Amino acid sequence: MEPRVTRWGTRFGFYLAAVGSAFGLGNLWRFPYVVADNGGGAFVFIYLALVFLIGMPFLIGELMLGKQTGSAVIPAARRMGKEPGAKEAQGRGRYISMRLLSRSGYLAIATCLMILAYYSVISGWVLHFLVRFSISALWAGDFEPNSVLAILLNNGWLQLLLTFVHLLLVMIVVIRGFEAGVESWVSKLMPVFLIMVVGLALRSLSLESSAEALRFFLYPDFSQLTTASLGRAVGQVCFTLSLGFGTMVTFGSYMSERVSVPVAGFRVAIFDSLISLVAGVMIFPLVLQSLGQGVAPTLLFESVPFLFAKEAGGEWVGIIFFFCLYVAALGSSIGLLETAVANARETSKMRRSTATIVSALICLFIAVVPALSTSVLRDQKIAGTPVLEAWDGLLVNWILPIVAVLISQVVLLRIDQSHQKEEFESVPVMAMGRLYAHWRFAIRYLAPALCLLGLILQLL
């Protein structure tokens, strides 16, 4: 298989795509709810530390794997054990471990599809709010956030319909190769959205509850942590930076020579964390009273709409907010489906359209369970946890870190050390700071150890 030749001509193109994939429901929907569920500030503290200790090293690794091999994750990993004479050259033990690792790409793709399934359900929720705000604005009905949410949560078939509509849109874009078009939409809307989220955060700060909310959100009270907190922070870091999916490997393979991998990893991670923090400032003052009473994945939808419902003309702000959020969710969903499709195409002879339709259908089929989780399956519990949270938790807090660690080991074994070093030393600042050695230490020992510790502690 020949490495692909497509390259982003500009740095800007690469950043847009990478930031666009990192930025999504993970920042606005998942981050606040996981923080609330895990006791606030201390969790945020751990999360931020892990962005540096795990997120950046892994992100740099995945991008590097793509850039150096020029291919998506399955072929990049699979070719590892296949070089002629590999067995003799590497010794038997190393050869066998390589062959095992070379299968990790498949796990990445399975995870991609399973996550896209419930990501689509939540995107459907966003769509519902967008439609509802539009109806209120255009036909002058009152917007009642509580009843809008209740209608959605009690109606599993409505959720399934919305999920279907969302997946259909995603599929059309991917089949027709409109990603570039959507990317340019995401890029145009992103500044608008960011300004808006910052504006809403400021508005939230003017609420009476804001002092206490900020205290909850930012003051690290370590007594709030449980043994599971570390693993959950690891999961959130992987999810929000799109690590362990193989996505960043694909992006790395499109990267032009001129873009420095370490610098890119650093910027994307910082930017993504800032957005999450602002989202927290926006949401927490609104939900202070209900914190601690079993926070649900509905947190975003229970809070932000109230900001708009109170004010005259607020529906319009609501429309813009949910429209931007929907475009971000759409962009991320496209990234997830595209990752699966790119890998399917490079490993089999499947046509693009066939691969896309098959993947989307698999997602829709899997999505039935999360879509019905707040209605028909409301009383079902998996290990004492509601279905949607259990599903999200299993994939994000368990499987993602494992895949991310496996991919990081592929990076270490697959890429020549001199090439790894070169990526760092081509940037003068990095050479000075001896960052290469730190990165190698992190990706080899520190990050895998932290991931493993997080997994083990979750078992307790």
The pair of structure tokens assigned to 1 is: 């298989």
To the nearest 10 degrees (0 to 180), the angle between helices 400-414 and 447-459 is 160
Q: Give the contact letters, 4-23, x = binds to ligand TRP (CB under 6 A), - = no.
A: -----------------xx-
Q: Of 365, 295, 299, 296, which is closest to residue 120 (Cα–Cα)?
A: 365
Residue recorded with tokens 């795509």: 17
- Give the number of residues written for the chain: 460
Which is closer to ligand TRP, CB of 243 or CB of 450? 243
The DSSP code for 386 is E
Closest approach, Cβ 349 to ligand TRP, in A, equals 25
Rule CB under 6 A: choose which of 13, 18, 27, 314 binds ligand TRP.
Answer: 27
Among the candidate windows 221-229, 235-243, 355-363, 371-379, which touches ligand TRP by CB under 6 A? Answer: 235-243
Binding flag, residue 239, ligand TRP (CB under 6 A): yes
Closest approach, Cβ 251 to ligand TRP, in A, equals 9
Residue recorded with tokens 């475009």: 327
* CA 395/CA 405 separation, integer angstroms: 14
Binding flag, residue 250, ligand TRP (CB under 6 A): no
In the bound complex, which residue of the shown chain has the CB atom lying closest to ligand TRP?
26
Q: Give the contact letters, 282-321, x = binds to ligand TRP (CB under 6 A), - = no.
A: ----------------------------------------
Binding flag, residue 336, ligand TRP (CB under 6 A): yes
Binding flag, residue 55, ligand TRP (CB under 6 A): no
Amino acid at position 283, single letter: I
Q: Of 304, 251, 253, which is closest to residue 130 (Cα–Cα)?
A: 304
Contacts of 208 (CB under 8 A, 6+ apart): none
Q: What are phi and psi of 309, to 5 degrees?
A: -65, -30
Closest approach, Cβ 276 to ligand TRP, in A, equals 9
Binding flag, residue 242, ligand TRP (CB under 6 A): yes
The pair of structure tokens assigned to 8 is: 């982003």
Q: Of 258, 187, 193, which is closest to residue 18 (Cα–Cα)?
A: 187
Binding flag, residue 322, ligand TRP (CB under 6 A): no
Binding flag, residue 356, ligand TRP (CB under 6 A): no
Binding flag, residue 190, ligand TRP (CB under 6 A): no
- Give residues in contact with ligand TRP (CB under 6 A): 21-22, 24-27, 239-240, 242, 245, 247, 332, 335-336, 339
